């Protein structure tokens, strides 16, 4: 009797194209975690309302929405390498506009440019990682986000130090331009097309049997013909992806609303000065970073959707500690625990979505960028407006509501996905 060989274990290979794509998460992570906690400082500096400060989230959203459908076209027409190089330069340009702005209109324009370049970069890199790593995509995407938040962890500390020294928030945020240019140089040195192909040694089964054109992430004509025979299953998959999009929106809304306004909450509830309150935001990023390096490998052994649902519940625990804190160390503890929840949410939800997309990874990423852009635009603005009307403490009651919505989507989405898989298997069996 011939023994059945056990499948080779799934593993993550960190080759040169992978590291190159990781570098964009470093630049983006630094920007997010240095600028977001600086918004209350910018509000004070410009003498505007919190709702007006929240418009920076709207500008982020506008830039994301602008490029959501554009990114797949750029990758199709110019290739992933050229797209990433161009995006890095746009990020650098937006950073210069932002840090040189002395009015609300000017800083909003800078954020808009930054968001356009950053979302092209992250979308192209994230889809590239998913295509390249096959069944190890959840680990690659989670680790990439972990690298970004890990480096971004220094951002709030740099802002806090800058404020303490009298330099303000701008020098710390300006570092984004240097990192973006470095990422663009690194991407330019990777051979064209190298980043778009699945690593054969990683997992032979990772090569899409339907004929996926890995250079662009779209099906070849042969694959489209096969897909037509599975239209019912594909429609069921679409239902599942909508739930995963809900989870993505919840994750992005939670992270951005908290990073924008937790500084203000800590100042009001604990009496901490601006520098200490801003630096305390590093606790959120620390929690996010730590869990990403843990949950990435875990997702290769535990169903990612279960980890995702649990992460939303952990976020509620962290919120409860932060919301009830009256001392800065307790608030910091709450931020760390909330970060442990937040850190797993986005990378897990996006990797699940990209895996469910099967034949159109870049387009699925575009949909996620569009939905995420809307979340970035709405969440910080709404929380800022509520804080203006009712105070930051009451406004933060929105956080657990959004977390519960995300947890529900993480539970229902996999049910719809399993139904799609069952339909696909039944249809193939009937036609065989």
pLDDT classification of 358: cutoffs 50, 70, 90: low
pLDDT classification of 365: cutoffs 50, 70, 90: confident
d(CA 310, CA 314): 6
Choice between 88 and 233, residue whose per-residue pLDDT is larger: 88
pLDDT classification of 430: cutoffs 50, 70, 90: low
d(CA 111, CA 201): 41
- Please give the full DSSP string across 395-406, using - where no structure is assigned: HTTHHHHHHHHH
pLDDT at residue number 11: 66
CB 350 within 8 A of CB 295: no
d(CA 303, CA 297): 11
pLDDT classification of 138: cutoffs 50, 70, 90: confident
Choice between 8 and 408, residue whose per-residue pLDDT is larger: 408
Cα–Cα distances (Å) from 227 to 209, 211, 295, 388, 427, in that order, read 12, 11, 33, 51, 12
pLDDT classification of 221: cutoffs 50, 70, 90: very low
Lowest mean pLDDT among 134-143, 209-218, 375-384, 410-419: 209-218
Q: Could you count the other beta carbons within 10 Å of the beta carbon of residue 424?
A: 18
d(CA 131, CA 214): 7
The number of CA neighbours under 13 Å toward the Cβ of 51 is 8
Mean pLDDT in the chain? 78
Phi first, then psi, for residue 258 (nearest 5°) are -70, -45
Residue 136 scores a pLDDT above 90 = no
CB 93 within 8 A of CB 204: no
pTM of the entire predicted model:
0.66
Q: Is 218 helix (H, G, I), strand (E, B) or coil?
A: strand
Phi first, then psi, for residue 82 (nearest 5°) are -65, -40
d(CA 128, CA 79): 11
- Tokens 């990439």 locate to 144
Q: Which domains does the chain have, with CATH numbers?
A: 16-192+207-431 (1.20.1250.20)
- Token pair of 282, please? 């590093």
- Own/partner pairs for 296-301, CB < 8 Å, 24+ apart? 296/12, 296/138, 296/139, 296/140, 296/142, 296/143, 296/146, 296/347, 297/139, 299/138, 299/139, 299/142, 299/348, 299/351, 300/10, 300/12, 300/136, 300/138, 300/139
Q: Could you count the other beta carbons within 10 Å of the beta carbon of residue 367?
A: 19
Residue 56 scores a pLDDT above 60 = yes
pLDDT classification of 425: cutoffs 50, 70, 90: low
Length of the chain: 432
CB 215 within 8 A of CB 41: no
Burial zone of 43 (CB within 10 Å; 0-12 exposed, 13-18 middle, 19+ buried):
buried
Q: Could you count the other beta carbons within 10 Å of the beta carbon of residue 234?
A: 16
Cα-trace Rg, the chain: 21
First vs last Cα of the chain: how many Å apart?
Answer: 27
d(CA 356, CA 364): 9
Residue 318 scores a pLDDT above 80 = yes
- State the alpha helices, DSSP H only, in 36-69: 39-46, 50-53, 55-68
Mean pLDDT across 253-282 = 79
CA 5 to centroid of chain Cα atoms: 38
- Token pair of 406, please? 């995300």
- Tokens 């190890």 locate to 136
CA 132 to centroid of chain Cα atoms: 18
Residue 265 scores a pLDDT above 50 = yes
CB 33 within 8 A of CB 152: yes
Mean pLDDT across 290-307 = 81
């Amino acid at each position: 009797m011939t023994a059945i060989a056990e499948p080779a274990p799934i593993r993550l290979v960190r080759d040169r194209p992978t590291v190159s794509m990781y570098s964009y998460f470093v630049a983006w992570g630094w920007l997010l975690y240095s600028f977001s906690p600086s918004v209350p400082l910018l509000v004070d500096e410009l003498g505007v309302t919190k709702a007006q400060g929240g418009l920076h989230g709207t500008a982020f959203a506008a830039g994301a929405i602008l490029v959501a459908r554009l990114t797949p076209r750029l990758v199709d027409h110019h290739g992933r390498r050229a797209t990433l190089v161009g995006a890095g330069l746009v990020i650098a340009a937006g950073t210069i506009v932002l840090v040189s702005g002395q009015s609300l209109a000017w800083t909003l324009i800078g954020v808009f440019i930054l968001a356009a370049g950053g979302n092209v970069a992250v979308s192209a890199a994230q889809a590239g990682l998913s295509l390249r790593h096959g069944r190890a995509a959840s680990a690659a995407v989670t680790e990439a986000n972990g690298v970004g938040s890990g480096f971004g962890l220094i951002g709030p500390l740099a802002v806090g130090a800058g404020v303490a020294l009298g330099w303000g928030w701008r020098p710390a945020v300006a570092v984004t331009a240097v990192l973006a240019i470095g990422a663009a140089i690194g991407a330019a040195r990777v051979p064209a097309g190298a980043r778009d192909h699945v690593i054969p040694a990683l997992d032979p089964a990772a090569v899409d049997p339907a004929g996926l054109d890995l250079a662009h992430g779209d099906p070849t004509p042969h694959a489209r013909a096969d897909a037509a025979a599975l239209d019912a299953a594909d429609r069921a998959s679409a239902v599942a992806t909508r739930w995963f999009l809900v989870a993505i929106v919840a994750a992005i809304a939670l992270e951005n609303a908290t990073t924008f306004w937790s500084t203000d909450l800590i100042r009001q509830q604990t009496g901490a000065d601006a520098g200490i309150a801003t630096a305390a935001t590093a606790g959120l990023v620390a929690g996010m970073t730590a869990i990403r390096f843990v949950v990435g490998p875990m997702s290769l052994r535990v169903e990612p959707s279960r980890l995702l649902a649990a992460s939303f519940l952990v976020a509620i625990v962290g919120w409860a500690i932060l919301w009830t804190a009256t001392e800065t160390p307790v608030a910091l503890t709450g931020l760390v625990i909330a970060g442990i929840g937040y850190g797993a949410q986005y990378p897990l939800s996006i990797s699940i979505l990209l895996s469910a997309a099967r034949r159109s990874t870049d387009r699925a990423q575009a949909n996620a960028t569009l939905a995420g852009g809307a979340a970035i635009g709405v969440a910080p603005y709404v929380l800022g407006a509520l804080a203006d009307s009712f105070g930051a403490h009451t406004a933060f009651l929105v956080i657990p509501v959004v977390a519960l919505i995300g947890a529900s989507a993480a539970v229902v989405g996999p049910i719809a996905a399993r139904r799609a898989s069952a339909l696909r298997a039944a249809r193939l069996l009937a036609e065989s």
